[in-house]
Amino acid sequence: MIVPSAAQVPAIHVPLMDQAEAYAKASKAGNTVKAYSSDWQSFCSFCQGEGVSALPAAPQTVAAWVASMAGSMAAATIRRRLASVSQAHKLAGLDSPTSSEAVKSTFKGVLRVHGSQQRKAAPVRAKNLRRLVADAPETAKDARDLALILLGFFGAFRRSELVALDVEDLAFTEEGVTVNIRRSKTDQQGKGRTIGVPAAPGSAGCPVKALRAHLEASGQTSGPLFRRSNRWGQAGERLTAESVADILKAKAEGMGLDPAQVSGHSLRRGFVTEAYASGAETPEIQAVSGHKSIQVLAGYYQEANVFKNASARIRL
């Protein structure tokens, strides 16, 4: 979280200020906190280079910063960076310069000139997974990676949710495995939810079989489900969210994907796209993915059915 220094805010009791900062950080997901902090540092560097104040910042300064990012950064990134600057000012008890007409008009102009389309991660589809499971895992690390990818796909996990799982969050049954998701991006208060990942007997791509093989190979009975592996194949600390993307990129070519187009979101994106292409209904998908926005899912539906339109009915 962006918390201005004590010199930039009204003097209050220091212990209470520290406690307030701790609660402010807890109100946001870890990745969000990192992004906000990085954004704020970027803005401060820009202001330092221009010889102007960062806190409080003049609307014209923020507008110039937006213009400097145009064309080189995605609209979503610029929008998030503006939110970071706004957050810093609010925490300091100051009016946010991002709400000014100068900043709004500049950002609208950037959208008009450069567009707002985001680069989307390449989805991992069923055909890609079939290539992945063609060869059986040879090492404990291979078994871990396979379990992570298959569970991540069939559970439509966000990368942060996937690496946060503990062995104790799994419950194996005759039908498959239930997974307790204790906290997620859209559940910061930790209400939690449980999803079921069905077994696929006889399939080389069965996520339940892969999970059991991973646990047997690693000898894990408790603690983080997915851990780092050292040079001797021994399990260490919990994998980070960034590790999910690294593992997918390492496996991408073998799955017929471009590593540069793969990200930690590819598994979740792939599940929803594949589910719609297979005829699944939106409520069925939501039961697994936990999506709350129908608009977001509508985009996946359109992508999965891009060739199912009136043109397909015409034959010459």
- Alpha-carbon torsion (273, 32, 263, 141), positive or negative: negative
In whole angstroms, give the CA distance from residue 227 to residue 224. 6
Question: Is-catalytic flag, 214?
Answer: no
Catalytic residue among 81, 144, 268, 269: 268
Catalytic residue among 81, 158, 214, 249: 158
Pick the closest to residue 182 from 160, 211, 199, 213 (CA basis).
160
Catalytic residue among 227, 265, 276, 301: 265
Question: Is-catalytic flag, 125?
Answer: no
Catalytic residue among 108, 127, 185, 308: 185
Catalytic residue among 81, 144, 249, 291: 291
- Token pair belonging to 235: 């399990």
Query: Left, alpha or beta for 29 (phi > 0: left; psi -120 to 50: alpha)?
Result: beta
State whether residue 174 is helix, strand or coil.
Answer: coil
State whether residue 178 is helix, strand or coil.
Answer: strand
CA 316 to chain centre: 45
The distance in angstroms from the start CA to the end CA of the chain is 60
- Token pair belonging to 70: 């145009």
Pick the closest to residue 2 from 36, 30, 26, 29 (CA basis).
36
Name 217's bridge partners: none
In Å, how far are 137, 245, 282 from 249, measured between CA atoms?
17, 6, 29
Question: Is-catalytic flag, 300?
Answer: yes
Planar angle of CA 117, 119, 120, nearest 5 degrees: 110
- Token pair belonging to 222: 């408790």
Pick the closest to residue 289 from 300, 305, 302 (CA basis).
300
Pick the closest to residue 58 from 42, 69, 47 (CA basis).
47
Phi, then psi, of 176 in degrees rounded to 5 = 165, -130
Pick the closest to residue 285 from 120, 113, 91, 294 (CA basis).
294
Question: Is-catalytic flag, 158?
Answer: yes
> What residues are annotated to the active site?
158, 185, 265, 268, 291, 300
